[in-house]
Structure 1
Amino acid sequence: MINLGIIGTNWITDQFVQAAHQTGSYQLAAVYSRRLETAQKFGENYGDVEYATDLVTFFAIQHVDTVYIASPNSLHFEQAKQAILAGKNIIVEKPAFSTPQEMDEIIELANQQRVFFFEAARNIHEQAFKTIADFLPLKDQTIGADFSFMKYSSRYDQVLDGEEPNIFSPHFSGGALVDLGVYPIYAALAWFGMPNESLYFAKKIQTDVDGIGTGILRYEEFDVTIRTGKISDSYQPAEIFLSNGTLVLDAIHSIDEAVFHDRDHQRKIKLSVQRVENPMVEEAAAFAEVILNPTDRTLGTNYEEWVELARNVNQVLYDMRKSAGIVFDADEK
């Protein structure tokens, strides 16, 4: 059983803890919050849980072996570093870190301390995602793709009122690209590999981060278009253009429908995909399998591939952000 500690008590943490318990491999053991009442309210339905209002106390809880970090983006690096030095595995909500330097340091430190680092990019762990990966032909039969993930955030209303919520603040490494944009970029790199060039054309909002934007990932023979945003909604499906037809997905995460339309319009192939009710169950199960079987070679190979993918996604996010002139406080460290 994995004894889980959590940093962050928002809705996404609650969803992850529920998913973790659903796998049968985790038990919530500790909650950190700056306010004791907030921590206690979060943990009241999970049995015997310890609480901490400072990180030194939290990381000193011996029986906690794995920490899920879902604090504001800019805080991930220091909290992850503290957790690793305390001997804990870490599951860091996407985007795990603000810069490639932070990512490299955490990967190296986790290896040195013999603990696991996972970026919680849930879509790559979905069975539907793997079904699509198996269906796709070789890259030389791909001629392009178009991935969108745009959803209006109610926090933008605060921006319009002159405020600067964390998710739209450069001080907290916010913006559309490093939030919703992570999903299509993960999909592109998992299915097609590392692009040769990564560009981003953004519409900045009052807080000087991107509210909406279009990215281009340039491969040797094709491009992938990425559209993301948090100040508008998109209802556009995802499409992968192949030499013999087009694969249409109803989404780029929590995929519930995938249909291949052949070039001659003679047939449609409906792939067997279905999303689960809690979209974080599959990633929680995948992480648990690695943590509980640390000497398994196949799982070890999977883990190394996830870490390298996380590193590459981080680099692409950084390159895209720089091409759009989006600067975070973390860039100056």
Structure 2
Amino acid sequence: MLRFASIGTSSIVELFAEAARQVDEVSYVAAYSRDLTRATAFGGPHGARPFTDLGALADAQDIDAVYIASPNALHHEQAVRLLRAGKHVLVEKSAAANAGEWLDLLRIAESNGVALLESVRSVHEPMWRSVESYMESLGTVRQVNLQMCQRSRRYDNYLAGKVENIFKPEMAAGALMDLGVYCLHPLMTLFGLPSRVRASSVKLANGIDANTTLLLDYPAFTATVACSKVSANAAWSVIAGEDASLEMDAVDNPQALRVWWAHSKSHEDLVLDKSQPQQAHVLRAFARMAEQPSLARPHQQATLDALTVMDEARRQTGVRFPSDPDITEHH
């Protein structure tokens, strides 16, 4: 039984706690927040005891793993402390502010023999096996269009002058980091790093990207990635090959998958298993990785590749975070 603590009290942590109830391999035992009242109020209904000191959480002998769902900019510092204390770490996306931070975490996890995983939920649910199983049937892939565009509920607060963490560059936030990663992680999992990255962003007054579009070159095809925090788009994402195309209604949590056959001009709607929440599948996978940390390596590589692409995209568009290394712009 993997005994989990959480960092953060947002709605996504509530989903984590609810999923943990459905997974026999884990138990949710502790909730961390800098505010005791908030930690108690969040953890109490789940039977999780409150923590307000990260060092005490790291040193607790009855906690095996920690789910980090704090702002992106805090992930590295918190994960370093926990990994060095021998805790397995499941970290919400984006896993780090840049590729350099992620490489640092990988080294620490390796040296301490613990599991480290970014919680990109789509690639751990049964749906993903359907995607992988149909890739060969598509023939030579010629085009990939992935999009994640949803207007943030907090955008109205931004417009009213109240800037929350998910709209702060100092928190390593923005459309690319918060939503583009949903597209990039599966893309990197399937195809690896592109040979060329071209990026364009529309930025808000504080320098954060409100929406970003990427054009990514591969030997046989070009991929586009579009993400936005200020506008919604219900268009399906597609992987198009010479023989067939695979479409999904939402890249982060597909409810529908469809295969279009190019020669017969017919389609097939795939049946998806949605009997359990995505996070439950992540927790089961992570429990196995805690026993054998090397199982996480393909996912760790996809995270590194995605962060590498995002670093280059931000370099091109001038979106900078405090933890970014000094770089010289070139054209």
**TM-score bin (small chain):** over 0.9
**Counterpart in 2 of 1:297?**
none
**Which digits, 9 at most, give the CA deviation of each residue in 1:21-53, with x for residues without a partner?**
211121122211111111111111223x33221
Task: Give the Cα separation in 2 of the matches to 1:196 and 1:140.
Answer: 21
**Equivalent residues of 1:164, 1:207 under 8 A apart:** no
**Counterpart in 2 of 1:305?**
298
Q: 1:140 to 1:24 in 2, by over 3 A?
A: same
**Equivalent residues of 1:254, 1:275 under 8 A apart:** no
**Equivalent residues of 1:257, 1:274 under 8 A apart:** no
Tell me, which stretches of 5 or more residues in structure 2 are unaligned? Answer: 327-331
**Equivalent residues of 1:144, 1:241 under 8 A apart:** yes
Deviates more, 1:314-323 or 1:104-113: 314-323
Tell me, which stretches of 5 or more residues in structure 1 are unaligned? Answer: 295-299
Report the residue type matching 2:244 in the other structure: G
Task: Give the Cα separation in 1 of the matches to 2:313 and 2:112.
Answer: 32
**Would you say 1:268 and 2:267 are equivalent positions?**
yes
Identity score, percent: 28
How far has the Cα of 1:164 moved from its partner? 2.2
Report the residue type matching 2:54 in the other structure: L
> 1:143-292 to 2 correspondence within 5 Å?
143-291=142-290
How far has the Cα of 1:273 moved from its partner? 2.3
Q: 1:330 to 1:218 in 2, by over 3 A?
A: same
Task: Give the Cα separation in 2 of the matches to 1:168 and 1:193.
Answer: 29
**Equivalent residues of 2:17, 2:46 under 8 A apart:** no
**Counterpart in 2 of 1:75?**
74
Task: Give the Cα separation in 1 of the matches to 2:186 and 2:215.
Answer: 14
**Counterpart in 1 of 2:46?**
46
How far has the Cα of 1:171 moved from its partner? 0.6
Task: Give the Cα separation in 2 of the matches to 1:277 and 1:250.
Answer: 18
Aligned length, in residue pairs:
326
TM-score w.r.t. the length of structure 2 is 0.94
Task: Give the Cα separation in 2 of the matches to 1:247 and 1:309.
Answer: 21
Partner secondary structure for residue 270 of structure 1: strand
**Counterpart in 2 of 1:314?**
307
Report the residue type matching 1:154 in the other structure: R
Report the residue type matching 1:153 in the other structure: S
Partner secondary structure for residue 180 of structure 1: helix
Partner secondary structure for residue 162 of structure 1: coil
Partner secondary structure for residue 278 of structure 2: coil
Partner secondary structure for residue 303 of structure 1: helix
**Equivalent residues of 2:145, 2:225 under 8 A apart:** yes
How far has the Cα of 1:140 moved from its partner? 7.0
Report the residue type matching 1:285 in the other structure: R
Over the aligned positions, Cα root-mean-square deviation in angstroms equals: 1.7
Task: Give the Cα separation in 2 of the matches to 1:58 and 1:215.
Answer: 39
Report the residue type matching 2:76 in the other structure: F
Deviates more, 1:82-91 or 1:138-147: 138-147
**Equivalent residues of 1:72, 1:167 under 8 A apart:** yes
Report the residue type matching 2:40 in the other structure: Q
Report the residue type matching 1:305 in the other structure: P
**Equivalent residues of 2:8, 2:69 under 8 A apart:** yes
How far has the Cα of 1:301 moved from its partner? 5.3
How far has the Cα of 1:113 moved from its partner? 0.8
How far has the Cα of 1:193 moved from its partner? 2.0
Partner secondary structure for residue 64 of structure 1: coil
Task: Give the Cα separation in 2 of the matches to 1:287 and 1:78.
Answer: 21
TM-score w.r.t. the length of structure 1 is 0.93
Partner secondary structure for residue 110 of structure 2: helix
How far has the Cα of 1:232 moved from its partner? 0.6
**Equivalent residues of 1:159, 1:206 under 8 A apart:** no
**Equivalent residues of 1:127, 1:273 under 8 A apart:** yes
**Counterpart in 2 of 1:28?**
28
**Which digits, 9 at most, give the CA deviation of each residue in 1:107-166, with x for residues without a partner?**
001100111101111111121112111111289700001111111112111221223211
